[in-house]
Structure 1
Amino acid sequence: MSSSYVKLTKEQAAPTEDITPGELNQPIHVPQLNRKRCLECQQELPDSHNPPQDEPWMTGICGCAEDPESCKTGLFCPCVLYGKNMETLQGTPWQEDCAGHSCFLVSGAAMVVSLATCQMSPDTVWCIAEGLLCGWCIFAATISRGREQMQKKFHLEDSPCDSCWVHTWMHPCAICQEHREMKRLIIDVEKKEDTVIDPPSVQEMSTSTAVQPGNSSS
């Protein structure tokens, strides 16, 4: 049986003069699709949920004297301290991040020494200096990802400025601050996990308890 269209009369046809172009293609608001979700696990959150506010760092960017051990490591061996920070934050072996960090610093230091000792034309010196500056900016932007991940995980604010700028101008101080912050946060978490609440003692009714006269059976 062949299908056929039913021709509508003028009375049955829908009015088209009140419809503007594109009116029928507007998106439909579905409340179930616009629920709050966790950025990490995409789990739905209640409407009353308020995300935690970013908190200030426990120590300042120049508070290296509060932890002399990490201050010495960050000053003389920043690659080692950076590797330790990444191991605590991401769980990766610290040797991997330490090797990448040290390779860049050693190559940059070698270029600086060559500029100071070798006799080069001013144009060559200027080109190499520009390359070192651009390389350092790329290095700081890459290293600052660990700080950004730490701020996101522990809800820390940008202090004293953006993470990339902090590592660009104060790289040793930044990794020392990150080490102190993670050290204290981990200690606080361990204290909470080690807190043991003793359950109440079991109360047993003794068989020698006297029976009240009113409760005795006749």
Structure 2
Amino acid sequence: MTPEQEQVIEEQQALLEESANMYTGEMEPETKTVEPPKTPEYIEVANGVPAGPGGPVMGAPVSRSAWSTGLFSCLGSQDEFCSSDLEVCIVGTFIPCVLYGGNMERILPRRSSFGIHCLSYSSLYFLGNCLFNMNSLAPCFSYPSRTALRRKFNLEGTGEQIANTFGCCGSVIDDDESRECCESVLDCAVHVLCHPCALCQESRELRRRLPHPAFSRPAYLPQAPPMEQHMVLPMV
């Protein structure tokens, strides 16, 4: 090795030693370690039923609403439906078949619903009067309308009203299946024992809650007849 090469190597070693001495006092940058969040020993749970932003929580029990008028409120409650309540009382007394047909037309707004139920009621009305000299068959046919009305608007049944008033039969009301079976039997009993009053109460409730189906149907728009058309034969 020549003296020149040895000198170059010595200079390089000197530069390396100087650079090593410069970084000897510096420390390496510390790396920040993120500690995982500590899990609590127990989790606090809020008591009660949480309320949703749009209303009651799904699955929560819904309270039943009361009837607008009582069973024996034949003249209704002196409000804006006073004239309608008087009309219901008169129609239910003299032509109950028409009142029953109107009730079913509101509960089941289908085509010819009024005529079908009114005709069926009239047939049983005259048959009962011929056989038993009283309207005894039509109430047994018409009581499902009261059950359908209760279920449609979640109304209180007769058994529930008795239990809330006198504080009895609470165990039967707690069971949904037993309560519904008991309420259906009581609906039949109400129609058999107080048939005109039951029809009038149902009609008053429906008139306060639902408009007549004729007002909710779209208006008839007359259409112009098509223009005359002519066939043009091709030239031969």
Normalised to the residue count of structure 2, the TM-score between the two structures is: 0.47
Closer/same/farther in 2, CA of residues 63 and 144 from structure 1, 3 Å limit? same
AA paired with 2:200? C
Say yes or no: does 1:175 pair with 2:185.
no
Closer/same/farther in 2, CA of residues 164 and 48 from structure 1, 3 Å limit? same
Offset of residue 112 of structure 1: 3.9
Offset of residue 52 of structure 1: 1.9
Match of 2:60 among 50, 71, 89: 50
Distance 2:61 2:70 in 1: 25
Deviates more, 1:160-169 or 1:92-101: 160-169
Deviates more, 1:159-168 or 1:61-70: 159-168
Say yes or no: does 1:88 pair with 2:87.
no
Larger Rg: 2
Closer/same/farther in 2, CA of residues 53 and 112 from structure 1, 3 Å limit? same
Offset of residue 167 of structure 1: 0.4
Closer/same/farther in 2, CA of residues 142 and 53 from structure 1, 3 Å limit? farther
CA contact (8 A) 2:128 2:138 kept: no
Alignment of 1:57-136 (within 5 A): 57-66=67-76, 67-92=85-110, 93-112=113-132, 136=136
Distance 1:179 1:60 in 2: 12
Closer/same/farther in 2, CA of residues 48 and 88 from structure 1, 3 Å limit? closer
Closer/same/farther in 2, CA of residues 158 and 77 from structure 1, 3 Å limit? same
AA paired with 1:87? E
Distance 1:141 1:172 in 2: 13
Name the structure 1 match of 2:43.
none
Name the structure 1 match of 2:156.
157
Unaligned runs of 5+ in 2: 1-55, 77-84, 163-185, 212-236
AA paired with 1:101? Y
AA paired with 2:204? R
Distance 2:139 2:93 in 1: 16
Closer/same/farther in 2, CA of residues 98 and 145 from structure 1, 3 Å limit? same
| DSSP 3-state at the match of 1:163 | helix
Distance 1:180 1:55 in 2: 15
Offset of residue 69 of structure 1: 0.5
- Tell me the number of residue pairs that the alignment of Structure 1 and Structure 2 aligns: 121
Offset of residue 64 of structure 1: 1.3
Alignment of 1:26-41 (within 5 A): none
RMSD: 2.4
